[in-house]
Amino acid sequence: MNETIDQLLTGPPLGASESELVDWITRLEEVKCIAEAVQAEAAVRLEDAVRARQAEAGVPARKLGEGVASQVALARRVSPAKGASALGLAKVLVAEMPHTYALMKIGLFSQWQATILARETACLSVEDRRVIDYQLCALGDDGQAPKVVAMGLRQLENAAKKLAITLDQESVVNRAANAERDRRVSVRPAPDTMTWLGALLPVKDGVAVYAALDQAAKAAQAAGDERTRGQVMADTLVDRVTGRAGTEGMKPRIEVKIVMTADTLTNESDQPAMVEGYGPVLAGWAREALSDAEVFVRRLFTDPAGQLVAMESRSRKAPDGLAEFITTRDGGICRTVGCDAPIRNIDHVERHADGGETRAENLQGLCERGNQAKEALGWQTRPGPDGSIITITPTGHTYISPPPDTWKPDPPPLSRAELVLRDVLVDHTLVA
């Protein structure tokens, strides 16, 4: 296939054979890899330009490059954390892994494959990392692609680990010892009012937890329990962590914040409720959940437009009540465009030092990276009249975080006739 990028992006022609369609998929995958490589180069050059501008402006050396990762995140429509990871990977590829980067530029290696190699060599010296980069990713003298191109992700990871241990076993051992400090627990939404609960643990602890749950499941099934093995393991985990096991007749005292309108609470509306840290849930599910635990009802009122009523304070730091209000109003999620990290800081949109007031309209919930980025040289933020937040980066690009619409009434669904009419209008526009 010798199609140009523009031709490729229009899609395969009607009537293309199965073989031709596979060729299109292959070529488009190559284009994606090349685009990721070019993105990496652009990110590195952006940081170089920003550091030069900041140095000329007298920014201290330790702060040079501040805000670049967030600009990358905004441009790529991802969270600040992912933007920082993308920038870090780009710098490693361009400066320390030329053969991996070259494979990306010819469309044979993806950003995720490069991420695995960068991650598994992060504890090594630059010299040893370059050895692995050459051994795994260098093209043959005849231009033949290396075997690593055809490896699965686990094979790729194992190949890099094996070489890393061979080159510098002490660094790998030290890295494993330090990794224990990163142990943590996370939760993220899953479909149908479920959640994924994850834990990063030392291998002995993780295996021990799983073995204990597996043992409980086997015992329950041996006793005739009709639940599946997975169900018993999940229920046992919840019982043991929350202390619910062995407390027959007692209700848990674990706090789960569920916010809903008064009409939803009194069964006069089916407007979805919000579970902080999860997202929207069915009204019926929320009402049922409230009956399963000790409940404290906190009244939060909305204006006619659906915005939560504002609160204000004269202090620089938002009082606990106002901070909790902002966290609830923003749904517990960072207001930075593209970010879905939990709120860690309650921040002034217009800086307090610039006259910004400590009131709900001028406060936003941000993750730690989002909060730090807006303090970099040349960043501007201001509240919009509709509750949105306007961010202008040093390059003049503008990003708008829309106001939380959690509490706005849902519009009535379109009728079938309206759907048909809309589809006709869309088809007419596309044809025109």
Question: pLDDT by residue (tens digit) across 295-307?
Answer: 555 555 555 555 5
Q: Report whether pLDDT(338) > 90.
A: no
Over residues 30-46, the pLDDT tens digits come to 999 999 999 999 999 99
From the list 74, 109, 68, the residue with the least C-alpha distance to 91 is: 68
pLDDT for the residue 361: 86
Which of the pair, 362 or 259, is modelled with greater confidence? 362
Does residue 271 fall inside a structural domain?
A: yes
Looking at the structure, tell me whether residues 266 and 321 fall in a common domain: no
Same domain, 21 and 170: yes
Are 203 and 70 in the same domain?
no
Q: Which residues contact 106 (CB under 8 A, 6 or more apart)?
A: 30, 34
- Residue 77's pLDDT is what? 93
- Listing DSSP states for 116-185 in one string gives HHHHHTTTS-HHHHHHHHHHHHPPPTT-PPPGGGG--HHHHHHHHHHHHHHH-HHHHHHHHHHHGGG-EE
pLDDT tops 50 at residue 128: yes
H or E, element range at 188: strand 184-190
Tokens of 97: 């892994």
202 and 84, same structural domain?
A: no
Q: Residue 325, SS3?
A: helix
Cα(218)–Cα(228) distance, integer angstroms: 10
- Global model pTM greater than 0.85: no
| pLDDT, tens only, 376-385 | 889 999 999 8
For residue 126, how many C-alpha atoms fall within 13 Å in the half-sphere facing its CB? Answer: 7
Domain that residue 285 falls in: 258-290
Are 202 and 143 in a shared domain? no
**Beta partners for 391?**
381, 399
Same domain? 286 vs 302: no
Number of domains in the chain: 4
Q: Looking at the structure, do residues 110 and 222 belong to the same domain, yes or no?
A: no
Q: Are 307 and 301 in contact (CB under 8 A)?
A: no
Q: Are residues 225 and 147 in the same domain?
A: no
